[in-house]
A and B are shown apart, each in its own frame.
Chain A
Amino acid sequence: MASKTITLRVFRGDDKGGELVEYKVETFENMVVLDAIHKIQAEQDSSLACRWNCKAAKCGSCSAEIDGKPALMCKTQVHDCAGDSITVTPLRTFPLVKDLVTDVSWNYRMAAKIPPLTPTKETAGKPFNMQQIDVDRVQEFRKCIECFLCQNVCHILRDHERTDAFFGPRQMVRIASLEMHPMDSLNRREQLKGEAGVGFCNITKCCTEVCPESIHITDNAIIPLKERVVDDYYDPVRKGLIAIGLIKKRNKAPLSSVPNDLTKIIS
């Protein structure tokens, strides 16, 4: 494809205010938005800040909003953007640091609250062969690259600013990978219903729409987690059947059994 000149409108500024600044950039074949940003840094303004690492859609650093749509800059082809002008802005949900860089540390603080895989005392430390049928379901969740595009787009965090009550879709994926793990012995539903706030999600699926790893966040993680919470908290028939001994109660350790230093925030 012949190269042409396009206009990039890039947010410049920080948490005290900012503006969209226009740059003219010569394109080349298969150019991605991150290339264009790099070209600006190299040829026009070296003070433009952006975060990146792999340029292979695997490190999750270059998340931004391209023409208003949350996406990885390194995975968005310039030629796929409509028209001759592209607007690049930082993630709106997180505090601005500078230009395209935002402070995403809140996500790590929430992640720290999720206790790691906790095998039972009897099984801990012993070799465990995980069977393929058990691997299959949770493997999808391991694809997450922590780009936080899902956290950024989720209206609960973005528009309603309920960072106080909802861990966000990425952490739901994380909890699902543990809750559905055959070796895990913790009752994670307590946390899900409580501080993690799975009830806040109204399954409108924006997280799934933006996930660059195509994880079916809503269908395979959040909805199954909601159903598990229903099992324990909102299903009187099930409660009755457990009471008369027709079905077995899950035997999992309460969250309070987790040693404090496991979920302490290291800063």
Chain B
Amino acid sequence: MAVQTSPPAAAAGSQKAPVVKRTDNWWGGTLFFFIVFSAFGAWATFRAFQNGFYETAGASQFGGAYYLSPLYSPTLRLSTKIAGFNISPALFILPFPLCFRLSCYYYRKMLYRAYGADPLGCAIAEPEPLASMRRKKYKGEKYFPLVVQNFHRYAFFAAAIFIIMLWKDTIESFFFKSGDSMHFGMGLGSIVFLTNVVLLSCYTFSCHSWRHFVGGNADCYSCSVLNQTKHGLWKKVSFINEKHGTFAMASLISVALTDVYVFLVTSGHFHDIRFF
């Protein structure tokens, strides 16, 4: 009747409690992340090197719309050639948001889990041979290379600048060119852009480093007027910070879908719907 779990001849005093496999769904969230993030990575890489189909630039065949893919924003009018190859401007843009996401506290959690199996799940034994390789040797983020994650705050400020530029793109997506004049309007693309930039702003400004910067760093909120103001800001950022992970995923998906939309429109697969 009894189930033997540890060899009886084992050294006295060193036996650990047995590992029991968790029966609940501990892997669903991680698998979802793995699929979404990998798919995003593949699509973004393809698009970054494609160097085309990223802007409508007010052309008449696109109804005069100004849609610019977030992967290619801001427009860099560079023509850089290395060994005869045209270098895509996206390659100068993407490192910044990429660094922000890779060092984001939420992505760190999910990346370590999904790609590093460190840990694969809570109370889930790490798979061999990783487990024995890392036992007693684990370094976490204390030492190189992962200690660089500590620079997340710099990546945040870089990403915040991009948010300003994406808001500019979004405003432009509400203006359409007809003949020589510009007028206010709204297409399906405008809504896509607006949704995307709102989600991206929520993601960026719910950042933990930002939360620390605006007020988390104070020890005594009641001690000065400045600190009372900090407390107010900190409360507001803390409020959206609780949903940081949700915004992180929602904005990742919305960036991809916005880019797909611009791709479909500019490549002629889809005709932008104009409401007015």
Contacts and interface: CB of A to CB of B under 8 A. Distances in A.
Contacts of A181: 219
Most chain B beta carbons < 10 A, residue from A96, A210, A229, A233: A96
B42 interface: no
A18 B5 contact: yes
Contact of A224 (B3, B216, B221): B216
A231 B24 CA distance: 40
Contacts of A89: 17-18, 20
B151 to A, nearest CB: 7
Contact of B212 (A15, A96, A227): A227
Interface string B204-228: 0000110110001101111100001
A133 B219 contact: no
A203 B122 contact: no
B217 A17 contact: no
A17 B118 contact: no
Contacts of A172: none
Interface in A136-167: 137, 153, 155-156, 158-162, 165-166
Interface in B1-49: 1-8, 10, 12-24
A204 B119 CA distance: 8
Interface in B206-261: 208-209, 211-212, 216-217, 219-223, 228, 231, 241-242
Given A20-B3, A82-B24, A89-B18, A182 B141 contact: no
A202 B141 contact: yes
A11 B18 contact: yes
Given A92-B19, A209-B122, A235-B153, A19 B109 contact: no
Nearest to A102: B17
Interface stretch (B58-66, B130-138, B161-169): B130-138
Interface string A45-56: 000000000000
Nearest to B208: A223
Nearest to A87: B20
Contacts of B122: 69-70, 153, 206, 209-210
A112 interface: no
A240 B231 CA distance: 25
Contact of A227 (B2, B136, B208): B208
B219 A69 contact: no
A65 B8 contact: no
A69 B141 contact: no
Nearest to A71: B123
Interface residues of B, number: 66
Interface stretch (B77-85, B142-150, B188-196, B263-271): B142-150
Given A160-B137, A200-B140, A68 B19 contact: yes
B109 A230 contact: no
Interface residues of A, number: 70
B92 interface: no
Contacts of B91: none
A223 B241 CA distance: 12
A96 B15 contact: yes
A197 interface: yes
B31 to A, nearest CB: 16
Interface in B94-140: 105, 108-109, 112-113, 118-119, 122-123, 125-126, 131, 134-140
Nearest to A235: B153
A204 B13 CA distance: 31
A16 B15 contact: yes
Given A69-B22, A134-B220, A17 B17 contact: no
6 contacts: A15-B13, A16-B13, A22-B3, A67-B20, A166-B140, A199-B147
Interface of A: 9, 11, 13-22, 65, 67-70, 82-83, 87, 89-92, 96, 102, 131, 133-134, 137, 153, 155-156, 158-162, 165-166, 179-182, 184, 197, 199-206, 209-210, 218-219, 223-224, 226-231, 233-235, 237
Q: Which 3 A-B pairs have the closest CB atoms?
A: A199-B142, A182-B220, A206-B122
Interface of B: 1-8, 10, 12-24, 105, 108-109, 112-113, 118-119, 122-123, 125-126, 131, 134-143, 146-147, 150-154, 208-209, 211-212, 216-217, 219-223, 228, 231, 241-242
Given A91-B17, A160-B134, A181-B219, 11 more contacts: A16-B13, A19-B2, A22-B2, A161-B136, A180-B219, A197-B140, A197-B142, A202-B112, A203-B108, A205-B109, A237-B154
